[in-house]
Amino acid sequence: MTEKEKQLLEIINDILWMAIRYAHGRHSYAPYIVRDAVKKLKNLYPDFKLKPDSTISPPTEEEIEKQGFIFRGDYLDDLFE
């Protein structure tokens, strides 16, 4: 990996956690854009790992009951598996 690629990955890591937190649980296109970006990164750099984020978790039963119908794809906790 070149120095330029290392710097770009560092920049991506510095920004990606905020994008994940913003998009996680939103009922919009945002989770799908972020999920696609992470998938592309992992395809380009198979060793790429997201830094753990304790604020990102699957929807709780309470959230599901409160919101009724939800899309599982709106939640990004599975990106950290």
Kindly write down the DSSP assignment for every residue of 10-62, as one continuous string: HHHHHHHHHHHHHHTT-SSSHHHHHHHHHHHHHHH-TT--PPP-TT--PPPHH
Residue 56 to residues 10, 39, 45, 59: CA-CA distances in angstroms? Answer: 21, 18, 23, 9
Place of tokens 């070149």: 2
Helix (H, G, I), strand (E, B) or coil at 75: coil
Q: What's the length of the chain?
A: 81
The model carries a pTM of 0.86
What pLDDT, on a 0 to 100 scale, did the predictor assign at position 81?
84
- Show pLDDT as tens, one digit a residue, over the chain (81 residues): 899 999 999 999 999 999 999 999 999 999 999 999 999 999 999 999 999 999 999 988 888 888 877 888 999 999 998
